[in-house]
């Protein structure tokens, strides 16, 4: 009996990676989930039959480590990225040099297909290091592996996201919800739609090239927060923090993070403030979900399924609301 094909998913236990892992396992592929803490990624084994999905150690900053997880792979997906620099995991080391390393070694090891998860806004001349290193990573990938598929999602939402979950959590602590870049536009994309696109590319069902992935709705940051507040049934005053003040706050937050050796995480960084100045939407004349034959999922269809826990009474909110309607007036 021929051996099933093998895909290596670097960062396969992360937010986006675990959805790609699940989809590839359902397609019958053996999945090597390469991550920094394989003991914390045991849950991915449940995505397939016994022995089909295996978490293994990988440090994207080390050649030998990356080469080991790419050996004998028929396809590879690189999901690794950072929103803020911590220790040795800098934007340069992970998003530029790390992506280059994966592509170079994938080519050397004879991996058949490579998928690179990047981000909308990747720009070598961008204002943020995040955008610059994403673009440099893309360029390095295409230089080493010209037939690679690069996926650029907008902000990704889903049950484990750190966007809607983070801001919904913030509403528990006061009447004000502070945000930066209230008028910046986003095109949120459902995590499993991104995984669907990545799986298609890994399976050879997508033409090489760069695809920008956005959901069916384009909203400003403020509008997204209004929708979130409606779902969690809370009233909060949305306050926009001007960019100059936000930049100062980011600098202070970074200093505190450094002084405490990372014990106090930075709430916002100057680089993130720079990113929030730029609209995060699909460009014109680019490949999109339509070119992959995928219909993107709306936020309305997904957000209530996991944000309900932030309602004042959590899972009992609907019951209490129903009981209140029965009280005599």
Q: Is 156 helix (H, G, I), strand (E, B) or coil?
A: strand
Q: Which residues contact 170 (CB under 8 A, 6 or more apart)?
A: 177
The full DSSP string for 101-135 is HHHHHHHHTT-SEEEEE--TT--TT-SSHHHHHHH
225 touches 179 (CB < 8 A): yes
Which among 224, 230, 143, 138 is positioned nearest to 183, based on CA atoms? 224
The DSSP code for 55 is E
- Rounded to the nearest 10 degrees, the angle between the axes of helix 15-26 and helix 191-202 is 50
| Spans of the chain below 50 pLDDT | 1
pTM of the shown model: 0.92
Separation between Cα atoms, residue 82 and residue 226, nearest integer Å: 27
Q: Which residues contact 177 (CB under 8 A, 6 or more apart)?
A: 167, 170, 171, 225, 229, 236, 237, 238, 239
Task: Provide the 10 A C-beta neighbour count for residue 245.
Answer: 11
Separation between Cα atoms, residue 198 and residue 192, nearest integer Å: 10
Give start and end residues of each alpha helix (H) in the chain: 15-26, 63-70, 91, 97-108, 129-144, 164-170, 191-202, 221-232, 243-259, 270-275, 289-292, 303-307, 317-326
Predicted pLDDT of residue 324: 53
For residues 39, 43, 45, 48, the Cα torsion angle rounded to the nearest 10 degrees is -170
Pick the CATH number of 6-157+187-216+280-296 from 3.40.30.10, 3.40.50.720, 2.40.170.20, 3.40.50.2300: 3.40.50.720
Predicted pLDDT of residue 264: 85
Predicted pLDDT of residue 325: 55
Predicted pLDDT of residue 1: 40
């Amino acid at each position: 009996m021929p051996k099933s094909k093998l895909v290596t998913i670097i960062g396969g236990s992360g937010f986006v990676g675990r959805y790609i892992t699940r989809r590839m396992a359902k397609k019958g592929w053996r999945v090597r989930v390469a991550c920094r803490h394989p003991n914390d990624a045991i849950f991915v084994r449940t995505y397939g039959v016994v022995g089909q999905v295996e978490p293994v150690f990988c440090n994207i900053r080390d050649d030998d480590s990356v080469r080991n997880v790419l050996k004998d792979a028929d396809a590879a997906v690189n999901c690794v990225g950072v929103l803020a620099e911590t220790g040795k995991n800098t934007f340069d080391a992970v998003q530029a040099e790390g992506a280059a390393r994966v592509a170079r070694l994938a080519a050397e090891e004879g991996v058949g297909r490579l998928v690179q998860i990047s981000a909308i806004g990747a720009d070598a001349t961008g204002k943020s290091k995040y955008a610059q290193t994403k673009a440099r990573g893309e360029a390095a990938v295409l230089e080493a592996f010209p037939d690679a598929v690069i996926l650029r999602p907008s902000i990704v939402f889903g049950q484990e996201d750190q966007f809607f979950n983070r801001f919904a959590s913030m509403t528990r602590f006061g009447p004000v919800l502070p945000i930066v870049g209230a008028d910046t536009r986003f095109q949120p994309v459902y995590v499993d739609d991104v995984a669907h696109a990545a799986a298609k590319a890994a399976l050879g069902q997508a033409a090489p090239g760069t695809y920008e992935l956005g959901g069916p709705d384009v909203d400003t940051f403020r509008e997204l927060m209004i929708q979130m507040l409606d779902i969690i049934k809370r009233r909060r005053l949305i306050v926009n923090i001007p960019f100059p003040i936000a930049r100062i706050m980011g600098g202070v937050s970074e200093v505190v993070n450094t002084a405490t050796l990372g014990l106090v995480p930075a709430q916002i960084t100057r680089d993130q403030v720079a990113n929030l100045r730029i609209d995060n939407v699909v460009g014109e004349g680019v490949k999109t979900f339509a070119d992959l034959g995928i219909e993107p999922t709306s936020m309305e269809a997904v957000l209530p399924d996991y944000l309900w826990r932030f309602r004042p009474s959590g899972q009992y909110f609907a019951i209490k609301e129903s009981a209140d309607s029965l009280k005599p007036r």
